[in-house]
Chain A
């Protein structure tokens, strides 16, 4: 809605010969009468003249109210509405509509503030504060057209040419839809993603200029494309490779369909039900489609999403301090004199802090066969992984990679049996951890 829409409509009708020049002049006189009245109101009746820029502002405000009323009618009814009501009536209708719109916009703002994202992004928070101040500074009578607010936070579909209250209302509605979408994800995951975004682009994300909805949308979209959950915002390079591979085997027109289906799948999986939010997501997808398609065609999804670097596969184990020989012998004697396995394990935990010492205790015949399992139960996965790594390392030196020492009753044998007996995902985790471990050679006892 351009400012002075109603005036330009009348001018157009006059140019097309649909109305007389006198009608146009008459309408302009009506407009001046409204302005004259507003000037008196603005100056509280104390002045009949004002500065030109003030007058222009007041006139723009009048036109904004008139245009608001006129544009509430369908195109073909607008001119007859202006003629039937006279401009003052149209203006009053406009003021009435703007007052209603103000109440509605305040309600939307309250809703947005209640559900606002608790994210330390400066432009996001300062924009919301700015809109709060807008309601105090905005005047429907004197500056209806003015968007007296610093709106810095960019929305994905904010290409409106609107001004004033109408713009603020539309902005808040879109922000509400975006917020609703982001709230489908775990707050911690969103923060991690934004942090990753900042690191990727080389800045502190809290001071960045970006749109949260867009980042979450793209990440979730790619997650679904990679066969992961729509709630997953953490992607690795192999996820994008997988997604790219899925698309590579399709024909170009099928790629378009696949991308569209992917969005629907994402929406369904997230459980988005609000129609307006779904429409907003789809509208954004349509806007972003070209960019997504180009990245897919080029097989370069890294252009779109953010990947987390795989964690380092080298976990260094640093052994604790060894105890002296005398003390070691005393501990062994205590363990041999203890019948309770619980007491043995407690003593072990309190006294032994070195892997080498632990192995030496394991090999000192202080535990019976069945007691080993209880010792292993008391250890966490990482320690079990260390023992596994140690045992396999020693065993490969003695017997080669493919054989395990079969010495029933030995701690190593019992360890392997214990790990084998664990649930498959647990034993796999221990073995995976062991593979990532690096033991210093001096940690291996001399054979």
Chain B
């Protein structure tokens, strides 16, 4: 049954991802077809590794849309940053037991990336990830300041 679920349309995904270029090119960032294939394939690997299923490309599109305005991402590293962010994202979804909605988590990651880690993806790991999970309150969202070293 898992194989049945994983039979998604690759071409549809590529088209959807490429379509977001219209929004992101104003920030000087675009993804090639090869980038889109790599991102989709990377997502598949991450989903398999984390034991998750996703039947749409909404998360990928949201990451692309939100992070394209980052002042820390250059065209060279654009696709690889998206790939790394996806890895963090699905890991956090599991660790939080799916308690944090997609949009809120993506926004939180953007906030951490931009304002706490200076655009350095390697800094979003370990303790910082736990802060994200622990500090989320369903009623208040991420209210209050986390403690940072």
User: Footprint of B on A, CB under 8 Å?
Assistant: 4, 28-29, 31-32, 35-36, 39, 43, 46-56, 59-60
Contacts and interface: CB of A to CB of B under 8 A. Distances in A.
Nearest to B52: A49
Contacts of B53: 39, 49-52, 54-55
B135 to A, nearest CB: 18
What 9 pairs between A and B have smallest CB-CB spacing?
Answer: A46-B101, A49-B54, A55-B53, A36-B55, A48-B58, A52-B51, A48-B56, A49-B52, A47-B102
B5 interface: yes
B2 interface: yes
B8 A60 contact: no
Interface in B21-59: 47, 51-56, 58-59
Interface stretch (B69-77, B90-98, B107-115): B90-98
B1 A49 contact: no
B4 A59 contact: yes
Contacts of B94: 51
Chain A contact surface mostly:
helix
Given A28-B4, A32-B7, A32-B8, A48 B98 contact: no
Contact of A49 (B9, B59, B103): B59
Interface in B93-133: 93-94, 98, 101-103
A50 B93 CA distance: 9
B12 to A, nearest CB: 10
Nearest to B98: A47
A39 B55 contact: yes
Contact of A47 (B1, B8, B47, B93): B93
B47 to A, nearest CB: 7
Contact of B54 (A31, A48, A53, A59): A48
Of the candidates A4, A36, A48, A54, the one having the most CB atoms from chain B within 10 angstroms of its own CB is A48
Nearest to B103: A46
Contacts of B1: 4, 56, 59-60
A60 B7 CA distance: 17
A32 B1 CA distance: 11
B47 A49 contact: yes
Contacts, number: 62
24 contacts: A32-B5, A32-B8, A32-B55, A35-B5, A35-B55, A36-B55, A46-B102, A47-B98, A47-B102, A48-B54, A49-B53, A49-B59, A49-B93, A49-B102, A50-B54, A51-B51, A52-B51, A52-B52, A52-B53, A53-B51, A55-B53, A56-B2, A59-B5, A60-B1
B62 to A, nearest CB: 9
Nearest to A38: B55
A59 B51 CA distance: 16
Interface centre among B1, B51, B90, B94 (most CB of A within 10 A): B1
Nearest to A3: B1
Contacts of B9: 29
A36 B102 CA distance: 15
Given A46-B101, A52-B53, 15 more contacts: A28-B4, A35-B55, A48-B56, A48-B102, A49-B53, A49-B59, A50-B52, A50-B98, A51-B52, A51-B53, A52-B2, A52-B51, A55-B5, A56-B2, A59-B5
A34 B98 CA distance: 21
Given A49-B93, A52-B51, A36 B2 contact: no
A51 B8 CA distance: 17
A48 B59 contact: yes
B86 to A, nearest CB: 10
Nearest to A45: B101
Contacts of B103: 46
Contacts of B90: 49
Nearest to A63: B1
Contacts of A60: 1
Nearest to B5: A55
A361 B137 CA distance: 97
B88 to A, nearest CB: 14
A28 B6 CA distance: 11
Contacts of B52: 49-52
Contacts of B98: 43, 47, 50-51
A36 B56 contact: yes
B20 to A, nearest CB: 15
Contacts of B55: 32, 35-36, 39, 48
B121 to A, nearest CB: 20
Contacts of A47: 93, 98, 101-102
A43 B98 CA distance: 9
Contacts of A35: 5, 55
B35 to A, nearest CB: 21
Contacts of A50: 52-54, 98
B106 to A, nearest CB: 11
Nearest to A29: B9
Nearest to B59: A48
A54 to B, nearest CB: 8
A366 to B, nearest CB: 96
Contacts of A39: 53, 55
A35 to B, nearest CB: 6
B96 to A, nearest CB: 11
Centre residue among B59, B94, B98 by max chain A CB count within 10 A: B98
Nearest to A53: B51
Nearest to B104: A46
Nearest to B93: A49
A54 B98 CA distance: 11
